[in-house]
Chain A
Amino acid sequence: MNRHLRIYWAMLKINFAYLLAYRANFITHLISAFSWGAFRIVGIVLLTGKRGVVFGWTQKDMILLTLGFFMVIGIFHFLFSSNFYLFSRVIDRGEFDAILLKPIDSQFHSTMRVVNYANFVRACVGLILIIGWLVMNHYTVTFIQIVLFSFYIVVGIITTYSIWLLFMTTLIWYPSLNNMVEFLFTLNGFMKYPGEMIRFSGTIVLYLLLPLVLAVSTPVKILVRKNSLEDMIVLSLIAICLFIISRLFWKYALKSYTSAS
């Protein structure tokens, strides 16, 4: 564990050096991240403008949910998504060999070696906006709620990571599907809506999307004092199961990797 942490620290430093070398790239990523963030907020204001309450969530709650999404997705993109973005190219060009030959865990190296600092800024801004929104709208938040909120943010990110890993692992068999990551970005869009949306639909197939929907709505529900115990239990179980399944699937897929593009 210590060894992996040391390696990760070294990777963070390498990525920071990369950021300093390509500053314009950092700025364009920043513009992109904030543009999408602003769009999400404008979008939810437009959608909730016509109806005040949707699925028991008021417009204020829905904006808080969007801000929660802004922060969670910022953390996720900061830590993982750039790696997934590179993954299809790594597989397609046979560069995966170099990863497998290194004396560290291949999943760790494939999914955590690149960080996107622009999204770290996004996550921080997201947190500030959440605090600002809570204060502006007189939400009363206790210490326990803050602890649970933080914990379930981590659980939500683990869930999202596991789902992405499950999908991206299939690229070992189908490397030409380099738009898989675009599809996953779209699926992430479900995270900014409440879990009730899936339950209300009454369609069993859509329950497959429940893990993603709960990833952000559960921690936000904790903040707005909605009854969230059921969601907390469900999300915890889903996170554990998906993490184990995605890990096993990764190990299984590695056996099918044929190298050389």
Chain B
Amino acid sequence: MNRYPIDLSGHHERASATFEGRPPRARAAPSAASDSTGALDSLSDSSLRGRQQWFARAVLTSESRVLPVSEAEARHALTPGPRLGALERLDIYRRGYHSRLVECLADDYPALQHALGREAFEELCRVYIEHHPSHSPNLNFFGRRMADLCRSEPRESRVPHGFCSDLATLEWAIVEVIHAPSSDPLTVEGLQHIPANRWGDARLVANMALRLVRFAYPVNTYFQSLREGADPPIPSAQESATVVYRSGPTIWRMDLTGPMFDVLSALLAGDPLGEALGRAEASLAHLDEQETVARVMFWFREWISSGLFVRVAIGSSGT
């Protein structure tokens, strides 16, 4: 079983610095409002809330659209500076808003950005930001819908949507595992407390910092290749499965075969050991019983020693 650690020391901060705007390809220069879509009222309500709602509507306006406020309207609401007009000053905030969120998504999805190329990735992010604005004070989970967006993205792309969606699913599993709680892992010694006559109905309790995912594309191979410094081609469709988990501060990805996935998913679903291991007999029907048992026990030991489980539950108790 191949296991790959991830060094996340480069994860970006949620800092108080102002982000510099990187103008997108289709962005129009700020100018008088002529775009009928989402035209912004002039500031008629000068209460604090009225000002904030007016300002926020401008900042949240997609960069692919003309800022829906005229210079005269901006001057009514805002002061010009020594060297920039009121509208140009307002636009600094709009660029900063979009750039910050694009950087956040790039931080969560570095492989997807590589696969699509920076320009296409930023376009995708701008669609994402428009469809899924943040409602949380925290950006940790802002990017959670990227795989869904990739799957439903109607525009043509040189990279198959299914590949993008799978890759985003893998990268999001890593984010989730970073933030999930974890407990001390179950050890092989811990298994020795299970009475021999209770093995069949014992259930394993999974590490909460674990995600098991199945893909139509070999995205973990692609991801690992990128991490090793290669520039891999977009692979053809080929089913794959990966378990992503954290052990202490280290994030790991482990490739799984189809039979491994069947057994592990049954264990994670809380199936008793007897039933879950019985899945292997069906998946490994081409092997004799002795070989099947030997193979499954090897997987089992590997998963236990990797920290995929935290305890054993027998009946309503645990050990």
Please say whether chains A and B are actual partners in one complex: no
* B binding-site residues for A, Cβ under 8 Å: none
